[in-house]
Amino acid sequence: MGQGNAVGGEFGGYFKKTFLWESEAEASSEAVVSQLTNSLRASFGLKHYERSFKQDESLMLNAFEEMVPHGKVSFKEIFKENKGEEEAVRPVKLEICSGTGEWVVSQARADPGSDWVSLEWRRDRVYNTFTRMVFESVANLAVMDGDASKALIFTK
């Protein structure tokens, strides 16, 4: 039972690094945060995770509010736990059109000194990348879905 709770706690961290975009560029910060959370609940199992591990729904909303200030993804916030005290800046590497994530997950595992972002348009492939990231315990990878020309305007 204790092991399940540890795994559950770690699993929540992967949700916090997964961004399923449906908002418009001019959407308010609150609308973006709500949309991101609702998308994860509807299609990636966040709702089941919250029930199974007795997580309050506000925890994910609060996490996204920190990581998406002003409606823009802050890579600094997403990856802040990866940065050691001696590291002033970690490089962020972006793969656009990541497919099912085999390459980007492999690269992130092989390059623990960098943070990686996977961007893929098709949600089924984003889900494949998400599950690879979880099953291979890759903490230095964030997963985003959407058309690159639209999704990248949500980053800073």
Q: Which helix (H) or strand (E) holds 145?
A: strand 141-145
- Tell me the pTM: 0.81
CA 52 – CA 72 distance, rounded (Å):
30
Query: Do 46 and 20 form a contact (C-beta atoms < 8 A)?
Result: no
C-alpha 103/C-alpha 99 separation (Å) is 9
Specify the pLDDT at position 44: 84
Alpha carbon 123 to chain centroid distance?
Answer: 13
* pLDDT score at 3: 32
| Dihedral, CA of residue 137, residue 85, residue 107 and residue 42, to nearest 10 | 50
Alpha-helix runs per DSSP H in 19-142: 29-43, 46-52, 57-67, 75-78, 102-110, 123-135
Dihedral of CA atoms 125, 141, 51, 42 in degrees, nearest 10, equals -30
Note the pLDDT of residue 131.
Answer: 93
pLDDT bucket at 107, cuts 50 / 70 / 90: very high
Predicted local distance difference test score (pLDDT) of residue 2: 31
Top pLDDT among 23 and 105 is at 105
How high is the pLDDT of residue 85? 56
Here the tokens at position 119 are: 């961007």
Residue 60: what residue type?
A: M
State CA 38 to chain mean position distance.
14
The crossing angle, in degrees rounded to 10, of helices 2-15 and 123-135 is 140
pLDDT digits (tens, 9 = 90+) for 128-152: 999 999 999 999 999 999 888 878 7
What is the model's pLDDT at position 6?
39
- How many other C-beta atoms can be found within 10 angstroms of the C-beta atom of residue 154? 19
pLDDT (tens digit per residue) in 5-37: 333 457 778 888 998 887 676 788 888 888 888
What percent of the chain is predicted at pLDDT more than 90? 36
Query: How confident is the model at residue 9, as a pLDDT?
Result: 54
